Amino acid sequence: MSGLGFRTRRVPVSSVFSRAFRGTQGRRSSGTCTAAASWTFGQVLPLALLLTPAVAAAQQQGDYNSSPAGPGSVAVKPAEPQPEVKQPVVVMPEIIHFENAPYPAEAEKAGLQGKVVLKLTIDKEGNVTAADVLEPAGNGFDEAAQAAALKFKFKPATRDGTPFAVKIKYSYDFTLKEVAAPPPPPPTHGELDGVLFIAGADAPLAGAEVVIVGPDGKEQRVATDGSGAFKLPELLPGKYKLKVNATGYDPFESEEEVVVGEAVDVKYRIAPVSEGIEITVKGERPPREVTRRTLERREINRIPGTSGDALRSLQSLPGVARPPGLAGLLIVRGSSPQGTAYFVDGSEVLGIYHFGGLSSVVPTELLDQIDFYPGNFSAKYGRKDGGIVDVSLRKPDTKCNADYGKPSDKVGCYHGMAQVDLIDLRALVQGPVPGTKHWSFAAAGRYSWFDKWLKPALEAGGSSVTAAPVYSDYQLIADHDAGGSRTSIRMFGANDEFKIIITDPLAQDPVFGGSLNFSQSFIRGQILNETKLSSKVDLTSMLSIGHDTFHFGLGILKFDLDLKPISWREELAFKLAKGVKLNAGLDFQMSPFNVLVRAPRPPRPGEPDPGPFATRPLRESTDSGFGFRPAWYVEAELTPLDRLRVVPGVRLDFARDSGHADFAPRLNARYDLIKGAGSDGSVPFQPRTTLKGGVGVYNQPPEFQETDPVFGTPNIDSNHSVHYSLGVEQELTRHIEVSVEGFYKDLTNQVSRGPNDAGGYSYNNLGSGSVKGLETLIKFKPTERFFGWIAYTLSRSVRKDSPLGEEYLFQYDQTHNLIILGSYRLGRGWEFGARFRIVSGPLDTPVVGRPSLPAVYAADAGSYAPLQGKPYTARMPLFHQLDLRVDKRWQFKSWAFSTYLDVQNAYNHAAAESYVYNFDYSRRSYQTGIPIIPSIGLRGEL
Amino acid sequence: MKRILTSLLGALALTTAVGCGPQFDAPSEVKTLRVLGVKKDKPYAQPGDTVSLDMLWHDPKGRKDIQTLFLGGCVNPPGDLYYGCFLQFGQSAAKGMFPPFEQNKNSFQVTLPEDIISSRRDVEPGQPRYGLYIVFFAVCSGTIQLQMDAKPGEGSEGLPIVCLDKDGQALGSDDFVVGYTSIYSFDGVSNANPTFHLDDDGKGSFSVAGGKDIVADCVGAACQGAAAVEVDCKETPERCVAPCDDDGDPSCPAIEVKPAIDVQQERDAVSSELFKNEVTEQMWINYYVDHGGISDARLLNDTNSGWNSEYRAQLRAPKDAGPVQVWAVIHDNRGGMDFARVTLGVTSPK
């Protein structure tokens, strides 16, 4: 599936046909008589279009619905024979002024009705130059019809956009007005109307075939007219699978729901035959949040410096701070990395990166959509006070391609992909499950191999560490789609492992010596179901059961974690009334767990260096139990005005481990100050201006070690915060949109640590803080050639450990973060992209000590403990980096081959990540980040 | 915690791989006034025990007026943090009770309070109860002063020991070292220091080039101020190396040095009982050299993988001829320590 679809739902109308007269003078209202036309779509046979083979074929396959032009039955034929060309786009004339003919008095008196068939000659300007009677009706009808028809005004017929003269048959009906029109029967059907546009060019896509399959399995086909429009009336309510077939364009699929008495307007952008594996990474639905950032698949694949890693691309969005080095941390709006949760289709996973940042655990090829909420997120999500990343896995692709990228009605085909780069090998296969009708599958896997070349490189370089991490991940998807409901069963997981014996312990702290053994793994079995319980009630369910293991051993230190997490989500969506939708859900997390920790008590960030750990007594904490964190939420989606959308919600969380319950009311709203139009090219462009804002309470339970009886303090409360945001989105052109959003977080009840009455240190909830900032995004929406954006975030994040404590900058505070990126298709399969970043340097805690003495010697360990100044008061120099990427793709008949070169830090800037000191901290320099790193990848697809 | 650990590990691995850090002098190269170890006769002591401490320090400049200091009296500081002692010192001094100290000696004795364990209130559930006594020490090429403030600076900023030159200016780390050592007291648990292997005459040895053993200059407290040893490279070529213009660089010629150490995989009784699993000490050895270069720290015993017999060091040749002193300091992770010295030589240029 490719391309972008979005939909709007209109209010019920008494007759779907009434819209056909919009912009015309179609309803005769004067007098007692009417010439009200009885448009029947099947009667419209534009003769000119009959000359178009594609349309003719479409007509043979089913009803052909043309765009209505006005009252009366119209047949169009070209004024002059046209040489047959390949798929000319011919648009029939459209009546824009209808002249009411006076009802002949004698005929009216006699109660006569009549139908006059005329042949109208319409010139290139749309004027009727002649109206000849082909089938007279007499009784004064013929003259009246002729006189009126000569006053008609048409939008002229066009061929490939060029007006030309035509002659058409026109039937003018004279009907006596009924005394009173009977009330329309209650609707029993719905309607699906749509317009197709060419993605990137934003031009209408004419002549495309639209195929729908209803809940009863019945198939209907229509073709789009010259304006890209199609209409599917009289549809039974239910979910419809919709496909768009157009030569030269990616196949497109969507699912739409038809409701009784409603007309669903949809607009799709259909992408030209794509370069790259199909991934749709954007799904539009009415927002329940103030801000949701989405990235289109092309953006994800091509952002320089990410090697095509979807989740790494999130780090280029506003509000996301640059993490140190290659770390895969997401630092969202001044929150800690632990403040952001990662979900795979609603099931939380503890980490989405191999080794904290090497690459995502879910490969880009299997992604359907990434939703990223930097703050003020919906009540659907909780337990975090930073941001939310929700990754959706894709539906397996079973479509067949006659030649690569060209659409076909046929399904049941298999696809594959294989890729190798310097880091890993990956493969994907997908298609239908043999012997079944509605089942499809996708299976993918990845295995790292860079340890094979890194080990000799390290040995040659004299490094004391001569081993490299190894990782793998896998995904298996089985999807059942029978129209009315969809069930997807998934299994996915990942493994990371790193083993080494460090025979040269770290001089700074010999605890970092001996056998290092690290491994982590997770596996999830997941079932998703979307069911329509009635025309107004939808049920979405997700159940996942998994197993997480984490082991870290270093000499005598040990951390073992074994979880069997169970996630259960249910959401009922009720359409209560026009403009009122209610979402009620539960979000349960349960997990039997075993944990073992052997370590000295760690300091909290910001505390002075406690000295080497090597000789400190170890503590051990072992715990087993059943973690249970249930939550319930209710959220309303209110659209009291066409331009206003308000989403109030509440969420109640309980954490059995801490024994605390958290209540979180939230309110988000968007208002179109100026309602936009034409961003898709359908009508003259009217830039949209939207105001948006939100306020809400967010709670984050303490971390495990903070409530652990040994390492922490039991029964401490959750961190509380209130998110405020206010912003504006302004379209400048069809392709450029600016959004500016200010945010403020009031952090209270923060977990902190301080001296206790027993002479030790314990955790408390006396911490506080705040984050304020401004996000600006100037985005050039993806076109056929180019995409890019400029993102700038200004922020300040501070903390206090106690009410009387001194305020200090938060560890991950980043004042300025400017990202400029773009990618341009040069043609012939070449694409070039660049990303440039200028970011405030990271913070570090300086070593100051007494005059001239920076450290004390910890004799037992044989190393030094720095005498540190106030936490995070030293900022490293400005970070700046240029990343470049070049892609080249070769397209063959049934497969494609591509390669890329992704160069991180192209001009090899030695960016300072922190201070690094000599053994006694008397000399310091900068620890610099990654040097220039080129990465080459090869990929084959079929 | 898990996410942070994972990220740190990834960053560590990658940083190591790409080698982005600058190059400083290695901690094993003694080029300034340094303390190399403080050995306690009882690394784990019982309440009421008297513990003797011996300091090993070296001044490459050979100055005769180096001052030393031992400062005791810090018991169970908050969080077991050394800088928690500063407030204790300040508050005691404000009451006119000065903590025990000793100046210009290389040894010191402290007696642990009888209630060092029982008076401790900060005990986590299920964890062993213990007491902690911290002793500070210093060496200074100027004049040592104690400056105890009743309200010392926060954290580690309140260090109460300073070293002043003749003009009253504070001296820095080239001329002044302050350190601390911890004496833990677990009820009924002792810890023996790791030891160098001594022959029947009570002398230690080092294995050098060609696997030949040579006698150590000294072992233990005797090493402090031990007289220099003459090396005749013609008679004992195995303990000599040719000079190198790059002065200790890894590219310089090297000879192996390996002290004879008693294989002692001592059981860590406290951890074994706590973990309900037999655990041995973690041990390592630090090497120091006054000329040239040498390996920093080497693993001796790992609780998981066992004894590492490949703990030898590589002495990389200095640029100047003459004697080269090599110290080996053995540590265990329970505060145990021992030290020894051997003198090698650099042949004269031909």
Q: What percent of chain A is predicted at pLDDT more than 70?
A: 81
Mutation choice for B interface testing from A322, A503, A595 by most B CBs within 10 A:
A503
Reported as a single tens digit per residue, the pLDDT across A883-903 is 999 999 888 877 889 898 989
Question: Which 8-state DSSP code applies to residue A103?
Answer: P
Residue among A351, A710, A921 minimizing CB distance to B126: A710
- In this complex, which of B173, B303, B329 lies closest to A852 when CB atoms are compared? B173
Instruction: Please provide residue B9's backbone torsions phi and psi, each rounded to the nearest 5 degrees.
Output: -65, -45
More confident residue, A423 or A177: A423
Q: Which residue of A458, A517, A616 is in closest CB contact with B17? A: A458
**Cβ distance A843 to A852 under 8 Å?**
no
Q: Is the pLDDT of residue A50 over 80?
A: no
For the beta carbon of residue A379, count every other beta carbon within 10 angstroms: 29
Strands A190-198 vs A128-135: parallel, antiparallel or unpaired? unpaired
Q: What is the mean pLDDT of residues B283-290?
A: 95
Say what percent of chain A tops pLDDT 90: 30
pLDDT the model gives residue A35: 30
Residue B18: in which H helix or E strand, if any?
helix B2-18
Which among A329, A550, A918 is the nearest to B25, CB-wise? A918
The answer on pLDDT for A288 being more than 70 is: no
Q: Which of A191-195, A249-253, A511-515, B113-117 has the lowest mean pLDDT?
A: A249-253
Q: Which of A513-522, A847-856, A877-886, B289-298 has the lowest mean pLDDT?
A: A847-856
pLDDT digits over A105-135, tens only?
Answer: 888 888 888 888 888 888 888 889 888 888 8
Q: Do B287 and B327 touch, CB atoms closer than 8 A?
A: yes
Residue A280 has pLDDT above 50, yes or no: no
DSSP characters for A829-869? TEEEEEEEEEEPPPEEPPB--BTTB-EEEETTTTEEEE-B-
Interval A365-371 mean pLDDT? 79
The winner for highest mean pLDDT among A269-283, A465-479, B171-185, B230-244 is B171-185
- The arithmetic mean of pLDDT across residues B20-44, rounded, is 88
Does residue A65 have a pLDDT over 60? no
pLDDT tens sequence across B147-178: 887 777 666 667 889 899 999 988 989 999 99
Q: Which pLDDT score, from 0 to 100, does residue A784 have? A: 76
pLDDT > 90? residue A453: no
d(CA A387, CA A382): 10
Q: What is the pLDDT of residue A284?
A: 41
Q: Check B180 against A461: CB less than 8 A apart.
A: no
B314 CB neighbour count, 10 Å cutoff: 15
Yes or no: say if A95 and A69 are a contact pair by the CB < 8 Å rule. Answer: yes
Verify whether the Cβ–Cβ distance A705 to B1 is below 8 Å.
Answer: yes
pLDDT band at A474; cut points 50, 70, 90: very high
Instruction: Please say if the pLDDT value at position A429 is more than 90.
Output: yes
**Whether B78 and A760 lie within 8 Å, measured CB to CB:** yes
Taking CA atoms, what residue in B is nearest to A914?
Answer: B21
Q: Cα separation of A316 and A212, whole Å?
A: 38
Instruction: Write down the pLDDT at residue A3.
Output: 32
Question: SS3 sequence, A614-671?
Answer: CCCCCEEEEEEEEEEECEEEEEEEEEEECCEEEEEEEEEEEECCCCEEEEEEEEEEEE
Distance from CA of B182 to the nearest CA of A (A): 7
Q: For residue B7, is pLDDT > 70?
A: no
Q: What is the ipTM of this complex?
A: 0.94
What is the spatial distance between Cα A682 and Cα A687, in angstroms, rounded to a whole number? 13
Cα(B172)–Cα(B140) distance, rounded to whole angstroms?
Answer: 9
Distance of residue B234 Cα from the nearest chain A Cα, in angstroms: 33
Other residues' Cβ atoms within 10 Å of the Cβ of residue A232: 24
Name which residue leads in pLDDT, A399 or A55.
A399
> What's A231-279 look like in SS3?
EEEEECCEEEEEEEECCCECCEEEEEEECCCCEEEEEEEECECCCCCCC
Res. B300 pLDDT band, cuts 50 70 90:
very high
pTM over 0.80: no
Tens digit of each residue's pLDDT (9 = 90 or more) over A180-226: 455 556 667 888 888 887 765 556 777 788 888 887 778 888 888 87
Residues 6+ apart with CB under 8 A from B202: none
In this predicted structure, what is the pLDDT of residue A42?
Answer: 27
Q: Report chain A's mean pLDDT, rounded to a whole number.
A: 79
| Of A355, A505, A853, Cβ closest to residue B297 | A505
Q: Is the pLDDT reported for residue A620 higher than 50?
A: yes
Average pLDDT over residues A538-565: 92
pLDDT at res. A346: 85
pLDDT band at A14 (very low <50, low <70, confident <90, very high): very low
Backbone conformation region of residue B141, classed left if phi is above 0, alpha if psi is from -120 to 50, else beta: alpha
B92 part of contact set with chain A, CB < 8 Å:
no
> How does DSSP assign A795-817, residue by residue?
EEEEEESSTTSPPEE-TT--SEE
A-B C-beta contacts closer than 8 Å: 311
* pLDDT level of residue A821 (50, 70, 90 thresholds): very high
Is residue A636 within 8 A of residue A580, CB to CB? The reply is: yes
Alpha carbon separation from B143 to A640, A858, B60, B140, B167 (Å, rounded): 81, 22, 19, 7, 10
Task: Give the residue-averaged pLDDT of A230-240.
Answer: 84
Residue A886's CB: how many other CB atoms inside 10 A?
Answer: 16
Q: Which residues contact A352 (CB under 8 A, 6 or more apart)?
A: A311, A328, A342, A344, A360, A361, A362, A389, A391
How far apart are the C-alpha atoms of A781 and A299, rounded to whole Å? 10
pLDDT 10s digits, A311-360: 778 888 898 998 876 666 789 999 988 899 988 888 888 777 887 677 78
List the single residue in B with minimal CA-CA distance to A753. Answer: B79
Confidence of residue A275 (pLDDT cuts 50, 70, 90): very low
pLDDT score, position A604? 66
What backbone phi and psi angles, to 5 degrees, belong to B170? -70, 135
According to the per-residue pLDDT averaged within each range, which of A91-100, A493-502, B78-87, B175-184 is highest? B175-184
Hey, are the CB atoms on A610 and B170 less than 8 Å from each other?
A: no
Q: What is the 3-state secondary structure (H, E, C) of A464-514?
A: CCCCCCEEEEEEEEEEEECCCEEEEEEEEEEEEEEEEEECCCCCCCCCCCE
Distance from CA of A372 to the nearest CA of B (A): 19
Does A99 score more than 90 pLDDT? no
Q: How many CB atoms lie within 10 A of CB B226?
A: 15
Q: What is the pLDDT of residue A20?
A: 29
| pLDDT value, residue A410 | 67
Q: How far is CA A846 from CA A507, A535, A917, A922, in A?
A: 20, 63, 10, 12
pLDDT greater than 50 at residue B247: yes
**% residues pLDDT > 70 (chain B):** 92
Smallest CA–CA distance from A349 into chain B, residue: B3
**pLDDT exceeds cutoff 80 at A851:** no
